Structure 1
Amino acid sequence: MIPSGQPSPAHRAAASPPRPDDITTLALGDLAGDADWRRPVLLDADLVVLVTGGHGTAELDFRPLPCRTGTLLRARPGQALRCEGVRLDAVVVRWSATALRGLDVDAGDDLPAHRQLVGEEAGAVRNEVAQLVVDCRRPPGVPAARALLRHRLAVLLLRLALLPPPASAGADAAGQRTENATFRRLRHEVERGYQHTRRVEDYAARIGCSVRTLTRACLAATGRSAKQMIDDRVALEASRLLAATDEPIARIGRRLGFPEPTNFGRFFTREVGLSPGAFRSARGGPPGNGRPPARRG
């Protein structure tokens, strides 16, 4: 019997960081910080979530995603996940960054975050996930079992990569290859540097192109300028930290390149439409500057 006040084994496994080559399967509820998903959780590993029953809405980085049987979610480390008011049965496949090292698979980096599987594709993916669940139960110390699990995950991701593109994909995608390559390079550089600089000129220098080229590439890919894209990324990270942690607001601002709290507050309010404190409270966090209230007797 589990002692009162101690987390269940499933929740202990969900809360602890994965081993360097960890691959696990778990239930959707095992990811939650509490049973009601009052706040989002920051993910510490890559996830594929396959909904096997029920319906509801999952929120990934504050974007609502309708879910029902056959819905596939692809989430990445650092994203904020919340399942508000849902009644979903789902299998979660979770793996760390090194789990696929040495295998010819890109970890599904180009997969959409949300997709509704139908027909034969749904059956094939469901079978792969079910087999992963079985293989995760094998003794982890057996080398053959470990190798099988890694290859099983690779097969799942390769199968997902071979799915036909969603019907909503733009018909003119092939004509934007040059601009999209520039956009991908910018996105990569922004991920590396958004905590240190928000200047488009700095990213243009790193990539070796002009500010105008970056802006044109961003407009083609997203409809927003390069400056807007950079600010969007900073605001997203701020939103994640405000909603899913109790870290003081001033410290979050400093992490994101704002030595002065007032500058961070103005930036966040302009980008999101709420002050940092109001946004945190609206997402179920503590009021004030993010410090949890003192315990009573």
Structure 2
Amino acid sequence: MRGTTVLPGTPGPEPQPGALPMHRLEVPMSNAMPFAIGTFDTIGPMSRAAFPHRHTFYEIVHVTSGTGAHVVDLFRWRLRPPHLCVIAPGQVHHWEGATGLEGSVVIFTEDFLLDHPGDRELLRRLGERPWRDLDEATHDRTARLIADLDDEYRTGADGFATVLRALLHILVVRAARLPEPASAPPLTRPGAVAEEFDRLLARNDPALWSVRACAERIGVSGGYLAEAVKSATGRTPGRLIREARTHEAKRLLARTDLTVRQVAARAGFADPAYFCRFFRRETGVSPGDFRRGRDVGGGIHHDHRLQSIVRPQPPA
């Protein structure tokens, strides 16, 4: 979605007083795939940030060594590697007293899940209890899978984007199978309203693509929904609904032969012309241009590798 990735050198938005930094994925060009994998060192210093912040993207961390703790939504997880951790967009987190931190970091936006939209729900559930301990066999299998992801990403051979999506899908499904931690925050925490809102959006039901409809389904006022969602994610319900509609439109354009008019209808737009204006405003390209440009990483050759995460200044 537009605003979740930026070009190199793009300054971060001015933080609002009292607001936490929101980090976006930095990509080498506007149509580059929103995915990267590397070590804590190659991804950059933000992968070890010691101050509370949020992301517009998912982050999967495979920790192989280190001491200290990782704080996610105010819950402190002590490091006893090996671990696998999943951080969802909008979750507040930071590293606390971490030393000797080593492992792999995988980062990607929802746009990278077009082949497997069901992974969004798995990732949301993993984000509720993000830290999973790994036994020796599971650690070895996870390390091999991540090594395959890293090799595919760095080699960039024909069809690498499709292979990356398939390998990421396997990683997400396997992570969801792991036993939940014995010590974990309760699921009835204040973010429950925001989580229910997220579940509603995951249905891709046009009848729920309005703040009012979601608030009524959850049983809260529109104002309370807005407050809960903004507190949990740093974004408004309206913004997230627009992102959900855009994501569904992208999926239909990329994975079906539906006409633009038919895609507009499936995405809840009665007027195809308005849909085209909406899509361009949200993505920066027309539906037709997006569909023609989906061979990035296949027929188009360029350095797809991401360099870093955009780094807003930490709060004083």
TM-score (norm: length of structure 1): 0.52
Counterpart-to-counterpart distance in 2, 1:190 and 1:28:
32
SS in 1 for 2:70: strand
**1:28 and 2:40 equivalent?**
yes
Counterpart-to-counterpart distance in 2, 1:57 and 1:116:
14
Q: Which residue of 2 aligns with 1:51?
A: 63
Counterpart-to-counterpart distance in 1, 2:162 and 2:47:
34
Counterpart-to-counterpart distance in 2, 1:209 and 1:78:
20
* Conservation of the 8 A alpha-carbon contact between 2:61 and 2:106: yes
Structure of greater relative contact order (alpha carbons < 8 Å, 6+ residues apart): 2
SS in 2 for 1:84: strand
* Conservation of the 8 A alpha-carbon contact between 1:20 and 1:98: no
**1:157 and 2:172 equivalent?**
yes
Counterpart-to-counterpart distance in 2, 1:119 and 1:26:
22
**1:138 and 2:155 equivalent?**
yes
Call closer, same or farther: CA 1:190–1:135 in 2, change over 3 Å.
closer
Deviation, 1:55, is: 1.7
In the alignment of these two chains, the number of paired residues is 195
Call closer, same or farther: CA 1:136–1:230 in 2, change over 3 Å.
same
Unaligned 5+ segments in structure 1 are 1-6, 8-13, 174-180, 192-201, 215-226, 239-283, 287-297
Q: Which residue of 2 aligns with 1:285?
A: 315
* Conservation of the 8 A alpha-carbon contact between 1:58 and 1:81: yes
Counterpart-to-counterpart distance in 1, 2:110 and 2:149:
18
* Conservation of the 8 A alpha-carbon contact between 2:40 and 2:47: no
SS in 2 for 1:149: helix
Counterpart-to-counterpart distance in 2, 1:164 and 1:86:
25
1:275-294, CA deviations, whole angstroms, 9 ceiling, x for partnerless residues?
xxxxxxxxx622xxxxxxxx
1:62-101, CA deviations, whole angstroms, 9 ceiling, x for partnerless residues?
4322123211110122333322321111210111212121
* Conservation of the 8 A alpha-carbon contact between 2:38 and 2:106: yes
Q: Which residue of 1 aligns with 2:162?
A: 147
Q: Which residue of 1 aligns with 2:134?
A: 117
Unaligned 5+ segments in structure 2 are 1-8, 10-23, 203-210, 235-313
**1:106 and 2:136 equivalent?**
no
Deviation, 1:31, is: 4.6
TM-score (norm: length of structure 2): 0.49
Deviation, 1:33, is: 4.3
Q: What pairs up with 1:1-297 in 2 under 5 angstroms? A: 16-17=26-27, 21-29=33-41, 30-33=43-46, 37-87=49-99, 88-103=101-116, 105-107=118-120, 108-111=123-126, 112-139=129-156, 142-167=157-182, 185-186=196-197, 188=199, 206-208=215-217, 234-236=230-232, 285-286=315-316
**Larger Rg computed on CA atoms:** 1
* Conservation of the 8 A alpha-carbon contact between 1:204 and 1:210: no
Deviation, 1:28, is: 2.7
The percentage of aligned residue pairs carrying the same residue is 21
Q: Which residue of 2 aligns with 1:292?
A: none
Q: Once superposed, what is the RMSD of the aligned Cα atoms?
A: 4.2
Call closer, same or farther: CA 1:46–1:34 in 2, change over 3 Å.
closer
